[in-house]
Amino acid sequence: MSTKKFNPKLIMIDVDGTLVDSVPDLAYCVDELMVIMGREKWGEAKVRHWVGNGVPKLVERSLTGELEGEVNQDDFDKAYPVFLDLYAANTSGRSCLYDGVKEGLAHLKSQGYTVGCVTNKAEQFTHPLLKDLSIFDEFEIVISGDTLEKKKPDPLPLLHAAKHFGIDPKEALMLGDSISDVKASRAAGFDIICMSYGYNHGIDIRHSNPDLVIDSMVELKDYL
């Protein structure tokens, strides 16, 4: 067990793979898209490796079958609006909070931390998802993938949050699950704690050297 302690004034938390297991809904939409496009379904296990960089990237990956494949622009232009419609209708029906999230958020609130949410998911999906899972009101700011002109791994969303609350980035903490979260945090000057269970394209997040890796948000109380 790490002995490192954090003393942040601001804690920004990622959504997909950190708070919410949203893959079941995303995978359902990918597979429905594949049927509409006259292709084979990929299945949830495959899609699990592809999420975490926003919907446009997920659609590209579903069309190429690769993390960084070269997508046919005509295919993408046809598929993207179809996926948006599918996901708008299937944002939260199969998704759920990870074990420990409710307890972890309750602890942060009880200790008086300023808590915000930062995600690469577009606002049209982020707000309904957080509201449907009854955690939207836990956050004092929600920064979605299209709130600003740049998203993670760019540091802009984190720096925007720190500036919004008048808090030095050195006194802020990010809670995430992917290399994108680690890169954004390092560039912004935030500390970074990662969840062991999230979406990092099948690679152990420990390889990205966050400040700490935990298995449940319940553990936050031991390190703050």
Q: Return the active site residues.
A: 14
Within 13 Å and on the Cβ side, how many CA atoms surround 177? 28
Alpha-carbon gap, residue 58 to 73, rounded angstroms: 14
Cα distances from 30 to residues 54, 60, 137, 148, 199, in angstroms, run 13, 11, 29, 26, 16
The contacts of residue 206 (CB under 8 Å, 6+ apart) are: 213
Residue type, 59: V
Q: Report how far Cα 139 is from the mean position of its chain's Cα atoms.
A: 15
Alpha-carbon gap, residue 38 to 57, rounded angstroms: 20
* Phi, psi values for residue 143, rounded to 5°: -110, 115
SS3 12: strand
DSSP structural state of residue 98: P
Q: Could you tell me which of 108, 161, 97 has the C-alpha nearest to residue 135?
A: 97
SS3 115: strand
